[in-house]
Amino acid sequence: MQIVGTGVDIVEISRIKQAAKKWSARFLKRIFTPNELAYANGKPLPYQHLAARFAAKEAVLKAIGDSTIHRIEWVHVEILNDEHGKPVVNLSGQAKKIKQEKNISDIIISMSHTRTYAVANAIMIKNGKS
Ligand SMILES: CC(C)(COP(=O)(O)OP(=O)(O)OC[C@H]1O[C@@H](n2cnc3c(N)ncnc32)[C@H](O)[C@@H]1OP(=O)(O)O)[C@@H](O)C(=O)NCCC(=O)NCCS
């Protein structure tokens, strides 16, 4: 097992809120999956969770870190939570394909948010020696 990439991102929650207010459902649907929107909307402060997911998506792209990321759509990097609340990455479309091409076995993320900022990091893991 080998760590082959890492990425981090910090997001101002107010910027996500402003973009959502300005572009409305169009912005939200372009960036977030129905599962992500449902999760955030079920919380008292949805934008904290949306901003954290935005940061996590960026962190995953940074962990990949080459021009292949331009093939990826935001909704193809979905952030879900396991039964303990721990965030997990669910890739689809080109993001899933790139993961397979690069022989990535796992992408591990962690997120945190306050009233002002959300932060996330991603670690990309490969099985085997090369
Ligand atoms: C899970 C926990 C660490 C989250 O920390 P927090 O300071 O409340 O919240 P933060 O804003 O920093 O982070 C929230 C994010 O943590 C992540 N998270 C939640 N549960 C998690 C878990 N079991 N493992 C990893 N990450 C988790 C989620 O991504 C969450 O954001 P989301 O709801 O938008 O997905 C905390 O609630 C907790 O349960 N701590 C355990 C306390 C404890 O047992 N202490 C005694 C031993 S030290």
pLDDT of residue 129: 60
Ligand 1 pocket: which of 33, 81, 114 to mutate (most atoms <8 Å of CB)? 81
pLDDT of residue 127: 81
* CB contact set of 117 (below 8 Å; sequence gap of 6+): 10, 11, 12, 13, 51
pLDDT values of the chain reduced to their tens digit, one per residue, 130 residues = 899 999 999 999 999 999 988 878 889 999 999 999 999 999 999 999 999 999 999 999 999 999 999 999 999 999 999 999 999 999 999 999 999 999 999 999 999 999 999 999 999 999 876 5
Alpha carbon of residue 97 to chain centroid:
16
The pTM is what? 0.92
Nearest CA to ligand 1 atom 18: 86
Ligand 1 atom closest to Cα of residue 52: 34
Answer whether 35 contacts ligand 1 (Cβ < 6 A). Answer: no
Closest CA to 96 of 51, 49, 60: 60
Q: Label the pairing between strands 2-12 and 117-126.
A: antiparallel
Q: Helix crossing, 34-41 with 46-64: angle to 10°?
A: 140
Q: pLDDT tens, 32-54? A: 999 999 999 999 999 999 999 99
pLDDT of residue 112: 98
| Ligand 1 centroid from CA 126, angstroms | 26
Check which CATH number belongs to the domain holding 89 and give it.
3.90.470.20
The count of domains in the chain is: 1
Give the range of the structural domain holding residue 96, as residue numbers without chain letter: 2-126
Q: How far, in Å, are 11, 24, 30, 80, 119 from residue 48 at the CA level?
A: 10, 17, 18, 15, 10
pLDDT of residue 26: 86
